[in-house]
Amino acid sequence: MLAVEELHKVYDGRGRRVEAIGDLTFEVEAGSFVCVVGPSGCGKTTLLRCCAGLLAPTSGTVTLSGAPVTGPPEGLAVVFQEYGRSLFPWLRVADNVDLPLRAAGVAKATRRELVGEALGAVGLADAHRAYPWQLSGGMQQRVAIARAIAYQPRVLLLDEPFAAVDAQTRADLEDLIRDVWRRFGMTLLFVTHDIDEAVYLGQRVIMLTSSPTRVAEDLPIDLPDERDQLTTRGDPRFAELRGRVYAQIQKAKLEGRTT
Ligand SMILES: Nc1ncnc2c1ncn2[C@@H]1O[C@H](COP(=O)(O)OP(=O)(O)OP(=O)(O)O)[C@@H](O)[C@H]1O
């Protein structure tokens, strides 16, 4: 389980103090899929970086299976929005996916198996020998996802991973990530500014206020587990849930403007 407790983060640079995270407390149960939405600039990336051990909180704690996160924890992988910058252009696709496994000292035969399985899971079984720059944006993001899942993380954090791809590719990648989650059973924390995406993907949606951010609402998404772009998005319950999240985000934006 991933637990965020009384998390507070202030950026204190030269002449500019930003209280990004006011006070955040929530838990993500092992094996669950939780989405986080909030107004632009409310501190979503800051939260994710604290969870990944890439940024030290000013106060409060993040714990993973009871152990405090003080640096990048074992068994945790992150997928960022900028796939173009996270893949190495001089390495072939399979070598990009292999890199973290090699760094972790995994045996060669096991690595080959894991890389093959991960690329197969994202529909890129035939792209092993290509270079990232020979692939479309959506395919490059699939490689980044493959690299994360080859590592067999217990927890996968995603920071607006589909924001830079076109709408159709985005829908495909949404279905892919749910498929990967169900197949590999990891814990997933997915940050997005897209309300529909959050409701479509998550078992829960945590809505944040403007910064200094707090949890505005933690909403269970009681849609059937089998989701698809047409049926789920056409479900009247989907419309109700997205309306509720939308209203909460609008409220957060208004409050942010008046404080
Ligand atoms: N390294 C930094 N130094 C100083 N201030 C920062 C730094 N990183 C983020 N901030 C500030 O902290 C606040 C939260 O930023 P953050 O990127 O976490 O928000 P976000 O919700 O992910 O934004 P967006 O929706 O635009 O991606 C913003 O006011 C931002 O300017």
DSSP 137: H
What pTM, to 2 d.p., does this model score?
Answer: 0.91
User: How confident is the model over 144-156, as pLDDT tens digits?
Assistant: 988 988 888 899 9
Residue 58: count of CB within 10 angstroms of its CB: 15
- Are the CB atoms for 4 and 24 separated by under 8 Å? yes
Nearest of 140, 108, 102 to residue 124 by alpha carbon: 140
Looking at the predicted structure, is the pLDDT value of residue 258 above 80? no
User: How confident is the model over 99-114, as pLDDT tens digits?
Assistant: 989 988 999 999 999 9
Domains and CATH numbers, the chain: 2-75+158-258 (3.40.50.300), 85-152 (no CATH)
- Portion of the chain with pLDDT greater than 90, in percent: 65
Neighbour-count burial for 137-172, b at 16+ CB within 10 Å, e otherwise: ebbbbbbbbbbbbbbbbbbbbbbbbbebbeeebbbe
Instruction: Out of 14, 46, 191, give the residue to mutate to test ligand 1, the one with the largest number of ligand atoms within 8 Å of its CB.
Output: 46
SS3 71: coil
Average pLDDT score, the chain: 91
Residue nearest to atom 9 of ligand 1 (CA): 46
What is the Å distance from ligand 1's center to 250 Cα?
19
Q: What is the pLDDT confidence band of residue 259, given thresholds at 50, 70 and 90?
A: low
Token pair in block for residue 36: 């986080």
Neighbour-count burial for 219-255, b at 16+ CB within 10 Å, e otherwise: bebebeeebeeeebbeeeebeebbebbeebbebbeee
Residue nearest to atom 8 of ligand 1 (CA): 46
Instruction: Specify which residues 158 forms β-bridges with.
Output: 79, 190
* Residues 6+ away with beta carbon under 8 Å from 68: 61, 62
Question: From the CB of 13, is ligand 1 less than 6 Å away?
Answer: yes
50: burial class by Cβ within 10 Å (0-12, 13-18, 19+)? buried
Question: From the CB of 45, is ligand 1 less than 6 Å away?
Answer: yes
pLDDT at residue 211, as a whole number: 86
pLDDT at residue 170, as a whole number: 86
User: How confident is the model over 175-209, as pLDDT tens digits?
Assistant: 988 988 998 889 999 999 999 999 999 999 999 99
Atom of ligand 1 nearest to the CA of 213: 14
User: How confident is the model over 14-56, as pLDDT tens digits?
Assistant: 778 889 999 999 999 999 999 999 988 889 999 999 999 999 9
Type and span of the H or E element at 23: strand 16-28
Q: How far apart are the first and last CA of the chain?
A: 34
Question: From the CB of 41, is ligand 1 less than 6 Å away?
Answer: yes
